[in-house]
Chain A
Amino acid sequence: MTKKTRGSKFITRRRLLTTVGTGAMLAASPFRINVVKADEPTIKVGFPVPLTGPYGTEAQDQVRAAQVAIAEFNDAGGLNGRKAELLVRDDKLNPGEAATRALELIEKDKVSFIVGSLSASVQLAVNNVTKERKIIYNSISQSDEINEAKDFSRYTFHEALNPHLTAGAVGRYAFPKFGKKVAFLTADYAYGHEMVRGFQEAGKAFGIETVIDVRHPLGTSDFSTLLPRIQALKPDILCISNFGRDQQISLKQATDFGLKKSMKIVAPILLYTGRLAAGAQAFDGVIGGTSYYWGIEDKVASAKAFNDRFRKMHDGKVPSDYGAMGYAGVKVVLEGAKAAGSLDSEKVIPAIEALKYDYYKGPEYYRKCDHQAVQSVLIIESKSKPEKGPADVFNVISTDEPSEANLRTCAELGFKS
């Protein structure tokens, strides 16, 4: 009897692939197909993301945004007339599955680049494959490890933020304002652990005291037994470092337990999609970091341009934070290829390293030693009520400007200069 309780994974892969595939075909601007010479194959960009599973919503938005980058590249004439194509694969949030899909994309589909993944461990698995096959991989998910010398290769790029940078930015904002007694509620896997380390390292300068670090299993649907302890310790700040549905449920239940009355809740990353799914009540007043929020379009011209293209292609929707990284990730490799005038990894790498770009959120560039995108972190606070339409969910209350000083140094990461 007991082994049957496993039957709880739901597969929608086929339906998703059909939808996504059709979308990708539409995006590839049918009117130009006859211009492409038959003997010139398209430039293939592999895109393994967890379409099914707990991060499906975010992954689907990554696909939508990546399609915008592909369409833009093709509309601008491609690489000397060669068009690009996005090959979306479901990695099911599983490192093994992701490695298999990556290998398949390289061997069978002959992709020139791989962009994607939405988990620290999954991106490391993909990276292992790509660095061995000498294919450029641009990761669009948070990880500290991927920057470190032992996992890095010259084929590895990291467009996403990393936990050290994100948690650091949120910590630098929150610790001086709300107090020194800090409790942590953390998803018990690499992402959560790295975020806590990021908070604690940033906190050293402010002399913070960790009162407790509660680690909860990934995919917890009830936090009622974890919260009383935190409440009893009366911290000034509670850092909740988890992701997706875990974040939605924990914030909702923390609100129900009245934790917000006695402490400030901060999260390293506040997800746009998560806020929509959990509602204003649960996220109300929570402060967090993000790589992108569509609302910066009033101030940042490239954000406005990107949002408008996204809206046009996807019935008026605005891109999410993780979605936008899908756009930037694909855009970077295609622009790199354009600058190099080639698809040869060895020529594209220096071209990407030389990019100084502002595609959607302000200036960015890749640091030479670890290929980490040096970029801003937005500090946002969740609104108690949307004012201008349902997408109006966050206030940007501060911006951590791009600076290598906020990253771990190349020497710390194990790179010899």
Chain B
Amino acid sequence: MAGLSLDLIAVQLFAGLALGAIYVLFAIGLSLIFGMLTVVNFAHGAFFMVGAYVGLFVLMMGGNFWLALVVVPLVVGVIGLIVERFLVRPLYGRGIDYPLLLTFGLSYIMVELIRIAFGTTGYPFDTPELLQGAVDIGIGYFPLYRLFVLGAAAVVLLVLWLFLEKTSYGLIIRAGARDPQIVRVLGVDVSRVWLVVFGVGTGIAGLAGVLAAPLQGVIPEMGSTILAEAFVVTVVGGMGSIGGAVIAGLLVGVVVSMTSLFAPEMAKVSIFALMAIVLLVRPQGFFGRAGLMS
């Protein structure tokens, strides 16, 4: 193991946490929608990809990255609202596999529409000028943009947490997730609550997409890899637990990073190995409520 120093291990750990933050960002919309609606959104990756393309479109129209950060979650969130209202809503109460299959099919349609509109070839997505280059973080150099994504993930989580835990609307959402019937009896229009949750979840997926674009470019298939990663994070953290998703995301990041250091060819498998181990020991994940899937 040539060149292994303490500094390197520290950088590697940091890179893992930063990657983990990106995983959390990828997973949080999925986890939110599952936790509150028990809808397994297989189109999550497609919303992510659409987010990147909406961002691309904003740039093509002469806008800048910062404008895209505002426009993308709104546009993708609205698409989410439409999907919930007209496609997902008729399926509530029919079992978990109905919306799952619906969103699965929807993801194909979304990818295909993007291919028709933008072509099958990928597009470059340059890092915004302000965030280009690497900075010295004391233990080594790290890309400024990744630090920015780290911060953005923290902000998204904080806002989401404040919204769910500290606002009265968040209270209704949480109550609706526990027992929709009682909430309905109390005179709350639960279907509107679910509409909002779905819109917020897809909006965050879109935001994650545009934030990922400068890291990996834009291509119609970019959602498929992150869908797998987001599922692992959600499953390991416990389906439906946002706190669990955060811890699981960071853990997955660190596991990938450390595997990369010692056996890079195993990095991809390590994610799934971790998931298998967690599921064997704790089938509901770190903070999952048992029986949510049944």
Chain B binds chain A: yes
B-contacting residues of A (Cβ < 8 Å)?
Answer: 1-2, 4-12, 15, 54, 56-57, 60, 188, 211-212, 214-217, 219-222, 224-226, 228-229, 231-233, 245, 248-249, 252-253, 256-258, 273, 276-282
Docked Cα-Cα span, A229 to B12, in Å, equals 8
With both chains docked as a complex, state the minimum distance between the C-beta of B38 and any C-beta of chain A, in angstroms. Answer: 12
Interface size for B (C-beta < 8 A) is 68
**Docked-complex contact A273 and B3, CB < 8 angstroms:** no
**Docked-complex contact B123 and A256, CB < 8 angstroms:** no
**Docked-complex contact A7 and B104, CB < 8 angstroms:** yes
Chain A to chain B: the 4 pairs with minimum beta-carbon distance, closest first: A279-B124, A8-B224, A277-B122, A258-B134
Docked Cα-Cα span, A245 to B222, in Å, equals 10
CB of B282 within 8 A of chain A?
Answer: no
**Docked-complex contact A232 and B216, CB < 8 angstroms:** no
**Docked-complex contact A10 and B220, CB < 8 angstroms:** yes
Q: Which of A245, A248, A256 contacts B127 (CB 8 A)?
A: A256
A-contacting residues of B (Cβ < 8 Å)?
Answer: 2-3, 5, 7-8, 11-12, 15-16, 18-19, 22, 40, 42, 45, 100, 104, 107-108, 111-112, 115, 120-127, 132-134, 140-143, 145-146, 215-217, 219-222, 224-228, 231-232, 235, 239, 256-257, 260-261, 264-269, 275, 279, 293
**Docked-complex contact B269 and A273, CB < 8 angstroms:** no
**Docked-complex contact B215 and A257, CB < 8 angstroms:** no
Closest residue of chain B to A211, judged by CB? B2
Q: Which of A9, A228, A231 contacts B224 (CB 8 A)?
A: A9
**Docked-complex contact A10 and B221, CB < 8 angstroms:** yes
Q: What chain B residues lie within 8 Å of A57 (beta carbons)?
A: 120-122
**Docked-complex contact A217 and B267, CB < 8 angstroms:** yes
Q: What chain A residues lie within 8 Å of B225 (beta carbons)?
A: 8, 219, 221
**Docked-complex contact A225 and B256, CB < 8 angstroms:** yes
Closest residue of chain A to B45, judged by CB? A8
With both chains docked as a complex, state the minimum distance between the C-beta of B153 and any C-beta of chain A, in angstroms. Answer: 14
With both chains docked as a complex, state the minimum distance between the C-beta of B223 and any C-beta of chain A, in angstroms. Answer: 8
**Docked-complex contact A279 and B133, CB < 8 angstroms:** no
26 examples of A-B residue contacts, CB within 8 angstroms: A1-B40, A2-B279, A8-B228, A10-B220, A11-B108, A12-B115, A12-B120, A15-B112, A56-B120, A217-B268, A221-B222, A229-B12, A231-B140, A232-B7, A232-B8, A232-B11, A248-B122, A252-B215, A252-B217, A256-B127, A256-B146, A257-B134, A257-B142, A258-B143, A277-B219, A279-B217
**Docked-complex contact B42 and A4, CB < 8 angstroms:** yes
Docked Cα-Cα span, A54 to B265, in Å, equals 19
Q: What chain B residues lie within 8 Å of A9 (beta carbons)?
A: 224
With both chains docked as a complex, state the minimum distance between the C-beta of A44 and any C-beta of chain B, in angstroms. Answer: 26
Docked Cα-Cα span, A222 to B40, in Å, equals 25
**Docked-complex contact A215 and B140, CB < 8 angstroms:** no
Q: What chain B residues lie within 8 Å of A249 (beta carbons)?
A: 215-217
**Docked-complex contact B293 and A1, CB < 8 angstroms:** yes
Closest residue of chain A to B121, judged by CB? A57
**Docked-complex contact B40 and A4, CB < 8 angstroms:** yes
**Docked-complex contact A5 and B227, CB < 8 angstroms:** yes
Docked Cα-Cα span, A221 to B220, in Å, equals 14
**Docked-complex contact B216 and A222, CB < 8 angstroms:** yes
Docked Cα-Cα span, A215 to B268, in Å, equals 12
> Would A279 and B126 be within 8 Å (CB), given that A11-B108, A222-B22, A231-B141 are in contact?
yes
Docked Cα-Cα span, A229 to B224, in Å, equals 28
Q: Which of A6, A7, A221, A226 has the most CB of B within 10 A?
A: A7
Closest residue of chain B to A183, judged by CB? B3
Closest residue of chain A to B134, judged by CB? A258
**Docked-complex contact A229 and B3, CB < 8 angstroms:** yes
Q: What chain B residues lie within 8 Å of A282 (beta carbons)?
A: 124, 217
**Docked-complex contact A233 and B108, CB < 8 angstroms:** no
Docked Cα-Cα span, A256 to B143, in Å, equals 5
Q: What chain A residues lie within 8 Å of B141 (beta carbons)?
A: 231, 257-258
Q: Which of A7, A10, A245, A256 contacts B122 (CB 8 A)?
A: A245
Q: What chain A residues lie within 8 Å of B268 (beta carbons)?
A: 217, 219-220
With both chains docked as a complex, state the minimum distance between the C-beta of B194 and any C-beta of chain A, in angstroms. Answer: 21
Docked Cα-Cα span, A216 to B256, in Å, equals 12
Docked Cα-Cα span, A225 to B202, in Å, equals 28
Known contacts A4-B100, A188-B265, A226-B264; can you find 7 more A-B pairs with CB under 8 A?
A7-B107, A8-B227, A224-B143, A232-B8, A249-B217, A277-B121, A278-B217
Docked Cα-Cα span, A57 to B232, in Å, equals 29
